[in-house]
Amino acid sequence: MILSNQQYCFLVCLLLMQMAAARAQETAQDSVVPDSGRQTRLHVLIDEGHIEQRPGEVDRSASSAAYTVIEAARFRDTFVSLDEVLEQEVGVQTRSTGGEGSLSTVVLRGAAAEQVIIYLDGVPLNDASGGAVDLSLIPLDNIERIDIYRGSTPLELGSPSIGGAVNIITRRTADDSPAASATRSSHRLSASLASFQTYRLNASSQLSSAKDDVLLTGGYLQSENNFSYLNDNGTGLNPADDRVETRNNDAVRHLTALGNWKHRFNRRYSSELRLDLSDRYKEIPAVSNSPDVQTRLDTRLYNLLAQLNALQFGRKDVNGNIKLFATSKKEVFDDSLAQIGFINQHSTALTRKAGGQLYAEIVRPQTHWKLLSGYSRESYDIDNSLSLVQSDTNRRSKAEVSVENVSYFDEQRFITSLALRYQQIDDTVATKTDEFGNIVPGFNKNYRLLSPQLGLKYRLDRRTYASANIGQYHRAPSFLELFGGSGLLLGNADLLQETSINSDMGLTYGWFKPYHWLHNAEAYAGVFYNRVKDLIVYIYNGQGVGVPENISNAVIRGLEFTLKLLPSKRHTISANASLTDSLNESDIGSFNGKRLPGYYRQSLSLRYAYSLQRWVFSMEADIKRDMFYDRSNLLPGDDVNLLNLGLRYLHQRSTVDFRVNNLLDENIRYFRNRPTPGRNLSLTYSYLF
């Protein structure tokens, strides 16, 4: 248990008081009984834009979490990747290791990628084997919307995480309202041509009838990623041997497909079945950029989701859903000639995950109860065919129960949400047979994690509100950290989970036609303070043997600002800025008092779009400063100065989009010795019929 007995009792008392207050509110408002549980929930009247909500999806109008929503219109019919879209949002930073299809990860409010949970339709993508979610495996063309929650995780998303959460909503068909009796269909074709021998094709079809909606998409991306950059030949102190080279062995071939079938049984019950596939072949370049390198990583990923939604289930104020999911991921890493790593590897890693989730909510006029319970099992097998080591399967089972109460006061101006989450994680490490036939026994490890969370939201009007949140979040150690890799990487069965107490406050202010020259405006200012303890870091001894240890605590704090201006219907201006600082408190002298690595302290993003009849001109600037590659803060990272220009033409069913990315032609290295492409062009043609 993380909380002491006193803290636990205090929390339970707080929850009971909340229940009593909510009950009092209900009693007073019994005369205002909605005629159906969900649709006439009072807070739904607050228009936050198009929100297609189902039971189990986050109700952002009531959520106090700091969040950003990215709709598909921002990135549809243009050549851009998921990490490039996320990069422009406040509090979010992404890091890529190279060109198209290269490993890309996300940092949220200074929290490392391993501490951020990426969800796909509410199902977490992070693996127990460790590491961050690779954003390059998720094609944008299959995405309908991206919800980014900074610092706190809504209960509907289940597992809370230290940095926050990114929920990627896949494309679905028409909204929930019953369709006309006639069957309708729409189709989209898109083709892109871009620099570095890059090609992309996408196709999608939507078929809708009175009861069924079917969406099918398919896409293919191919790129040689043969961009030019300055290779220092490994001699950073000798510019004489530097040379401009074409990147070698960085090609990608990526095939994706998505099928989504929604069935409406009646007004109250519906089901959804989704299957998506990602098959990617990716070459891995060496730091030396030798053309002889043949290392590659093949990844094949299947995701299956089945969901049953119920409105007014049993009672008119009860809604819920049941979700079943399964994932299979196979990664084949071929470095047989040890051109990238220390040892010859031809390893196959297989991750399988399956689970279910039950969500139920009771919707009352002044209070809203939510319950989420889930169970999942995950297995991880890895086999290096060039090694004699054999290993059984590593397994993780996770059970979680979460409850939240959302209460409304003062004619729903004031909203409180109190949530409690409990997770039970049981890990079973594999028994191994080493090179000499010795049996290395496995062991079990379990974690019991409690995550309380409190949110407050005060609404001045529908677009102006203040919010505050505080909560406790965890990250359980990964399989690699617990059980070790091969050779020099040992495991540590005594690892504690990383724990963070996150808090933030924010003010969102909206104007509607405040001046004659300003049609609409919205601004946000927020401050956050996170205290993380027991950070897991690999520590190496004098012989280069590494062991993960809970070696550090850290404070991460920052400021966030966003501003959106619509001077007229033709102009759109948005800007966001963040200042994130951290302080490492570590037993390791060279880490103590330093900043955490891997994120930029200062970040500024600007976007401008101008529409004139059929034309849309856009400009994006992204400026980031002050990052360190290492914990000792000896290696400053590359600054980011990105300028992108776009020109779009819309005519009837066709869209033509032309972009110039990275106009300043900078090969930014988000990771040391991993350059990303410089200036590049793209042309996309889309046809809707």
- For Cα atoms 539, 545, 548, give the angle at the middle one, nearest 5 degrees: 35
Question: How distant, in Å, are the alpha carbons of 266, 273, 323, 542, 631 from that of 306?
Answer: 18, 5, 6, 51, 43
Residue 545 found at the interface with another protein (CB under 8 A): yes
Cα(485)–Cα(478) distance, rounded to whole angstroms? 11
* Candidate segments 155-163, 254-262, 281-289, 301-309, binder of another protein by CB under 8 A: 281-289
Token pair of 532, please? 């993380």
Residue 441 found at the interface with another protein (CB under 8 A): no
Counting residues that bind another protein (by CB under 8 A) gives 59
Q: How far is the CB of 288 from another protein (least distance, A)?
A: 7
Helix, strand, coil proportions of the chain in percent (round to 5)?
A: 10, 55, 35
| Burial of 664 (C-beta count, 10 Å sphere; 0-12/13-18/19+) | exposed
Residue 590 found at the interface with another protein (CB under 8 A): yes
Cα(59)–Cα(37) distance, rounded to whole angstroms? 14
DSSP 320-356: EEEEEEEEEEEEEEEETT-SSSSS-EEEEEEEEEEEE
Cα(205)–Cα(259) distance, rounded to whole angstroms? 10
**Chain-centroid distance, C-alpha 145:** 12
Residue 673 found at the interface with another protein (CB under 8 A): yes
Q: How far is the CB of 558 from another protein (least distance, A)?
A: 23
Q: How far is the CB of 544 from another protein (least distance, A)?
A: 8
- Contact yes or no for 173/208 (Cβ under 8 A): yes
Q: How far is the CB of 382 from another protein (least distance, A)?
A: 14
Q: How far is the CB of 246 from another protein (least distance, A)?
A: 14
Q: How far is the CB of 441 from another protein (least distance, A)?
A: 14
Cα(681)–Cα(346) distance, rounded to whole angstroms? 36
Residue 640 found at the interface with another protein (CB under 8 A): no
* Candidate segments 8-16, 151-159, 434-442, 504-512, binder of another protein by CB under 8 A: 434-442
CA dihedral 338, 340, 341, 347 (to 10 degrees): -70
Q: How far is the CB of 632 from another protein (least distance, A)?
A: 5
Residue 333 found at the interface with another protein (CB under 8 A): no
Residue 591 found at the interface with another protein (CB under 8 A): yes
- Order of strands, edge to edge, in the sheet holding 66-71? 66-71, 143-150, 164-170, 116-120, 123-124
The nearer residue to another protein, 286 or 403, going by C-beta atoms, is: 286
Residue 48 found at the interface with another protein (CB under 8 A): no
- Contact yes or no for 233/241 (Cβ under 8 A): yes
Q: Which neighbouring-strand residues pair with 278?
A: 256, 301
* Candidate segments 65-73, 80-88, 188-196, 428-436, binder of another protein by CB under 8 A: 428-436
Residue 630 found at the interface with another protein (CB under 8 A): yes
Residue 568 found at the interface with another protein (CB under 8 A): no
Interface with another protein (CB under 8 A), residue from 515, 589, 652, 689: 589
The nearer residue to another protein, 144 or 245, going by C-beta atoms, is: 245
* Candidate segments 94-102, 361-369, 401-409, 486-494, binder of another protein by CB under 8 A: 486-494
Residues 369-398 that bind another protein (CB under 8 A): 384, 386-387, 389
Q: How far is the CB of 540 from another protein (least distance, A)?
A: 5
* Residue recorded with tokens 């990664």: 331
Cα(380)–Cα(331) distance, rounded to whole angstroms? 11
Token pair of 463, please? 């677009």
- Contact yes or no for 304/326 (Cβ under 8 A): yes
- Provide the mask over 241-280, with x wherever binding to another protein is found by CB under 8 A and - wherever it is not: x---------------------------------------
Interface with another protein (CB under 8 A), residue from 40, 209, 271, 339: 339
Interface with another protein (CB under 8 A), residue from 348, 486, 520, 641: 486
* Residue recorded with tokens 């109860």: 369
* Candidate segments 37-45, 189-197, 369-377, 628-636, binder of another protein by CB under 8 A: 628-636
Q: How far is the CB of 631 from another protein (least distance, A)?
A: 6
DSSP 201-242: EEEEEEEE-SSEEEEEEEEEEEE----EEEE-TT-TT-GGG-
Residue 234 found at the interface with another protein (CB under 8 A): yes
Query: What's the first-to-final CA gap in the chain, in angstroms?
Result: 57
CA dihedral 243, 246, 248, 253 (to 10 degrees): 160
Interface with another protein (CB under 8 A), residue from 177, 541, 613, 652: 541
Q: How far is the CB of 300 from another protein (least distance, A)?
A: 24
Interface with another protein (CB under 8 A), residue from 9, 16, 338, 439: 338
Question: How distant, in Å, are the alpha carbons of 123, 406, 417, 421, 495 from that of 62?
Answer: 22, 8, 9, 19, 37
Interface with another protein (CB under 8 A), residue from 634, 647, 664, 683: 634
The nearer residue to another protein, 248 or 578, going by C-beta atoms, is: 248
Interface with another protein (CB under 8 A), residue from 27, 31, 177, 543: 543
Residues 498-537 that bind another protein (CB under 8 A): 537
Residue 490 found at the interface with another protein (CB under 8 A): yes
Footprint of another protein (CB under 8 A): 233-238, 240-241, 286-288, 290-293, 337-339, 342-345, 384, 386-387, 389, 434-436, 438, 486-488, 490, 537-547, 551, 588-591, 597, 629-632, 634-635, 672-673
